[in-house]
A = this chain, B = another copy of it.
């Protein structure tokens, strides 16, 4: 979906005429505008004018395009989809369709319009040096359904043509016009102008709208002279009257005003787009960017907008050697292959989320959360606690992003441990336990919880506080799933093991408890605690995948073992309790915290990535997908044993943490809608085909089993899965199994992983891996800049290139992405 370039050209202006209602004069205005441009020398230039009616209903004799041709004098008029019955297109289309598939779908309608506009822009350049105007007249009102039933403004959204909205001059038309403008705005449209036919004082809508829309939406309103009253006149007289009307009115100052406004806004948009990269280089300090490496302003990608899985990116000489030609669209669609830094869930420009965001803004704005409550935040806490299916977790603390949520989690965990062991954290160095290559955010506290690495090497206040374990990893290598120890650590972790399926790596019943792993962990802890006298407060892990560390897939059995040992190990006496000693949900060693910022909330295909490990953490951190990919909000969920550590008579004993926008209603409400939608995808048929592709006919552990000792007891073996069990498939990916296995065999590829929406491809690299490696740079650039069936924006981490689907990505789009990826990989030097 949305794989067409946005409708912007240098010398060709396509403008979309929407009506605030049906029968408000769209066609009359389109004719006036066409005539004005064709004969009026707008902006002292000569204009070629085209008129397109994408979807039309009604008999041949009464077609809008014929009317426009007659009255505007423009010969280039086109109707793309014509239905005979003069009713709404969704009814007309349904009536004549034998099958549902006969009804033109939204992508097809939009692509046809895009194609026609591109042809027009191209032809214009070939034929003359003139400028061009394309008038696209929609049918009915802004949200009137197209053939498929989708509101028109949604069908054509990815083109994002500038809009002229024809206001409703009738009684009630003020309300209709403002609401129509609001509906367009919330779909990301830019409205160039509102025009309203002047009813000569009857309802005075134009007069009201002029003031209201200027003051409240910064929109100019142009008043167009009234259309001659035609009822009862003969066709001949009607035509003459209208000819006269068009001759006069097309020269009217207000029509001239609209025409000039369209041209000015187009020029401003182009100029803005042309200057954005260099202005950005001047004013913006980019995240995670060595600005010395951004040599040319041109290296900054300029995004006009985004829709579904696709950005609209400005062409440059790099992306298109012919980018300076006036005939090509200025923008091109690029697949958002990093899911916008792992946030994207329900598609860019999702109109549902836009309305819901506005609802919370309109109901609350922001509300101070200390000592108070509101519905969105409460509902969200309940939803997340329910969704996590972790009986330990009872409370939700809100912050703004993954980093702040991690800081809160660490404050919680460390305090709980200090209370447990009666340590004074303000005097003693209390570290975290974690994994090498972990990443938890960029505030100092979150950084300190990660081992020294390139991210924090030059951060003056960074002081790594903790110990980070080595661990075996799993991956697909030449068609085989393997669990590999780090180089030279066979002794500690055992040799490389092979598994028939990814599922088997997570089959804890079959694999059993790893006494090997547990012994190694205990030995290491003894060294740290008994020998070195170090103190630790919390085990912090990203479950399954270490993201920013390089998309490292950790052997889940090791993470499970670590949680088990750390919960039982007495960090004061170095003894290991044989079993949990303080009740079902307590810990006697240290609390366990999962940083699910990246891996949680369906990023890996399950509500929680803790499901994969069958471990119930005491603290669980969530962000990114929480709002469906719209705006920052984060959650730190905690158990009662953690909460109790802050319970006391003194205010100073409380968790004195809070951000101004804590639990902001917009984020919370959008999160509620997003989670509900995602739950629906998970439980419904939306992901059925992806899941079927990865289905393995053996037992699978359903999530959320009863916990013993902080670790799930494996479920009973299910003899063989029925189709209805597909929803419960745990290990599946948006990326096709065939593609992933193909990659695993590719000569350029060392290994590959795919789980949920994440695909990580580790490229072979002679120069040594790591964040500073540039092995994948060439592939990344080729995917974005080389012409192809699809262009892909991706991010790399050292020699790892990864792709991430959104939760609404379609199989067909992903298939195209897969083809392009393999093609580029083959073409690598």
Contact = CB atoms under 8 A, between A and B. Distances in A.
B354 A340 contact: no
A442 B636 CA distance: 15
Contacts of A630: 361, 365-366, 664, 666
A513 interface: no
A233 interface: no
A767 interface: no
A753 to B, nearest CB: 21
A410 interface: yes
Interface string A330-348: 0000001010111110011
A551 interface: no
A662 to B, nearest CB: 5
A634 to B, nearest CB: 9
Nearest to A381: B283
Stoichiometry, as copies per complex, reads 2
A179 B291 contact: no
Interface string A190-205: 0000000000000110
Interface residues of A, number: 177
A367 B340 contact: yes
A460 B425 contact: yes
A196 B617 CA distance: 51
B372 A353 contact: no
Interface in A143-198: 143-145, 149, 151, 157, 160, 171-172, 174-176, 178-180, 182-183, 185-189
A437 interface: no
A362 B349 contact: yes
Contact of A305 (B305, B364, B442): B364
Contacts of A353: 361, 365
Interface string A283-322: 1111111111110000111111110000100000000000
Given A208-B90, A404-B401, A654-B288, A660 B624 contact: yes
A651 B290 CA distance: 5
B414 A283 contact: no
A105 interface: no
Contacts of A772: 650-652
Contacts of A375: 272, 276, 304
17 contacts: A140-B171, A142-B179, A182-B183, A185-B358, A283-B394, A285-B397, A285-B638, A286-B370, A291-B647, A302-B372, A344-B366, A361-B630, A370-B795, A400-B401, A442-B659, A443-B444, A445-B461
Given A291-B654, A303-B364, A415-B460, 16 more contacts: A145-B174, A185-B355, A186-B186, A280-B378, A284-B378, A285-B395, A301-B371, A341-B368, A348-B365, A349-B364, A353-B365, A358-B361, A403-B443, A404-B404, A444-B448, A632-B667
